Structure 1
Amino acid sequence: MNILKNWRIHVIALIMVAVCEWIGAKKVPLGPGILFFLPMLYAMVIGGIISLPRLRVLKDKDMDIASSVLSITTLMLVTKLGTVIGPQIIKILQSGLALSFQELGHFLGTVVLGLPIAIALGLGRESIGATFSIDREPNIAIISEKYGLTSPEGRGVMSIYICGTLFGAVWLGLLAGYLGALHILHPYALAMGAGVGSGSMMAAASGAIKAVFPDQGNEILMFAGAANLLTTVVGIYFSLFISLPLTEKLYGILKPILGPKEAKKEA
């Protein structure tokens, strides 16, 4: 009931939606591709600006209520995806092997690419929590249970979670739109890659891909939603038993090689 009574949140959201829809989708040529700026990206930027404490537009209580509303709207998004996936279940089953293999990239990709960079930048065991996955809610639970959130690994996982919340949807939306505009990857492959286990990131990325390939909009949403669901369900066990142990092993190997001189001496 408190959510419904706080009319300021609803009015601000309505104004933001009206402004963002009025601006509309914009295409910016960049090299051989195109950057797609969608209304959702404007809304996230505007929301971040008006949330600054010094502006005093929103209070902490207002933002807590807005987070509750976000949970409800995420359920609506998942429900919509379910209605898209259901009629297309045969296509999902036919692409089962491809859909399964792309999951390796969602987890091992962060380890192979992110861990060496994190170590080279001087991070200690924070790099383990930061790079063993994309660090959404289930991954935080894994690190919290094994190391505790006050540990270096806990600080790493929480820092990436915050960065993903603030910038993840914007970054993935721009990246997906640009890659789609290059026409070097199949739209279904891009859609699968959009399902990283985060509803907001998946929505931003799949929306940008759909803008590039409007004739295949339903199929793009279907594959993105299926990949997102698979990442969420299977990802917990994959992170716990494969990517986290692998990250710890690689950390012990790479730290003496890529770490700062002090760390090399200690090793």
Structure 2
Amino acid sequence: MSQKTYDYPSLKARFQAQWRIILGAFVFIFIADSIGQFSFSIGAGSLILFPIFYAIILGIITGPQVFKVFKPKDVDAAKKLVIVCICPFIAKIGINAGASLDTVIAAGPALLLQELGNLFTIFLALPIAIALGMKREAIGATHSINRETNLALMNDMFGPDSDEARGSLSVYIVGGMIGTIYFGFMVSLVAATGLLHPYALGMASGVGAGIMMASAVATLSEIFPTYADQISALAATSETLSGTTGIYVAIFLGIPLCNKIYAVLEPKIGRKKGE
């Protein structure tokens, strides 16, 4: 796909060139929000579909590879707009973190250190990504859970057209589609074992992805209605911590670790072009 940079002399010129994707975004939002949340049970677990799932599906089927409502140039332009669209959400995370500072301090070491758990997935995911043929995209894809803050970080550190940013965006999209379903289903299966207290499950729901947390909390609230308020509070606190500490863990630990592992493994197990 072309990686052209589109520069416009004015906001009016930009709107005239990109009105299709802007209008399309509002149409997708309207349709997805109208459908709303949908859940159904499968055995001991339950699946929950959120509006973002429908919006992503609509984007895929109207893209250049399917019905071709949008052209490759629209896709290139839309990539630049991703960071603009998530900036309000990132600002909201900062405001919530400041307002919840006392809660963060009182949360204890279990919550404060939970973000370090994401680092261990690097040792599993990054070698697999390299072995499958990914290059620098693997760093963006595996350095974290890749939600809004991480996507913004990749764009800031490497640029919106970089391999690292594309890898991060890919996992962001897959997480929005599959992650929400997986989280809701997985937490219901874990809860069915009875091995963990509802509070622990609520704590574990806040991984730095608001939509995934919402999926897990909704499922847990149905399974443990008497603990619904406590589960929601613990999940929100955990989510706040993950959103604030996660960015620093990614900057100072996750990305450097990925760069080091990539430098060692890519020459040994990476695929050459044409393989």
* Same fold by TM-score greater than 0.5: yes
Aligned to 1:100: 112
For structure 2, which runs of at least 5 residues remain unmatched after alignment? 1-25, 68-73
Give runs of aligned pairs for residues 58-69 of structure 1, distance below 5 A: none
Check 1:35–1:152 CA distance in 2 against 1; reply closer, same or farther (3 A cut): same
Deviation at 1:198, TM superposition (A): 1.9
Q: Which contiguous aligned blocks of 4+ residues in structure 1 show a shift greater than 6 angstroms?
A: 7-11
Aligned to 1:164: 175
After superposition, the C-alpha distances for 1:205-232 in whole angstroms (9 at most, x for unaligned) are 1111222222211111111101110111
Give runs of aligned pairs for residues 1-267 of structure 1, distance below 5 A: 16-17=35-36, 25-29=39-43, 34-38=44-48, 41=49, 43=51, 52-53=61-62, 95-105=107-117, 107-260=118-271, 262=272
After superposition, the C-alpha distances for 1:157-187 in whole angstroms (9 at most, x for unaligned) are 1211222223322222222222222223332
Task: Output the aligned Cα RMSD.
Answer: 3.9
| Contact 2:32–2:54, Cα closer than 8 Å, also in 1 | no
Aligned to 1:4: none
TM-score normalised over the length of structure 2: 0.67
Task: Tell me the distance in 2 between the aligned counterparts of 1:126 and 1:180.
Answer: 35
Aligned residues, how many?
229
Deviation at 1:46, TM superposition (A): 5.0
Check 1:10–1:246 CA distance in 2 against 1; reply closer, same or farther (3 A cut): closer
Task: Tell me the distance in 2 between the aligned counterparts of 1:120 and 1:8.
Answer: 39
Q: Provide the identity percentage.
A: 35
Deviation at 1:203, TM superposition (A): 0.4
Task: Tell me the distance in 2 between the aligned counterparts of 1:10 and 1:146.
Answer: 29
Task: Tell me the distance in 2 between the aligned counterparts of 1:9 and 1:258.
Answer: 41
| Contact 1:102–1:192, Cα closer than 8 Å, also in 2 | no
Deviation at 1:110, TM superposition (A): 3.4
Deviation at 1:188, TM superposition (A): 2.2
**What residue identity is the alignment partner of 2:40?**
K
**What residue identity is the alignment partner of 1:176?**
V
TM-score normalised over the length of structure 1: 0.69
Task: Tell me the distance in 1 between the aligned counterparts of 2:231 and 2:244.
Answer: 20
Check 1:112–1:200 CA distance in 2 against 1; reply closer, same or farther (3 A cut): same
Deviation at 1:140, TM superposition (A): 2.1
| Contact 2:115–2:249, Cα closer than 8 Å, also in 1 | no
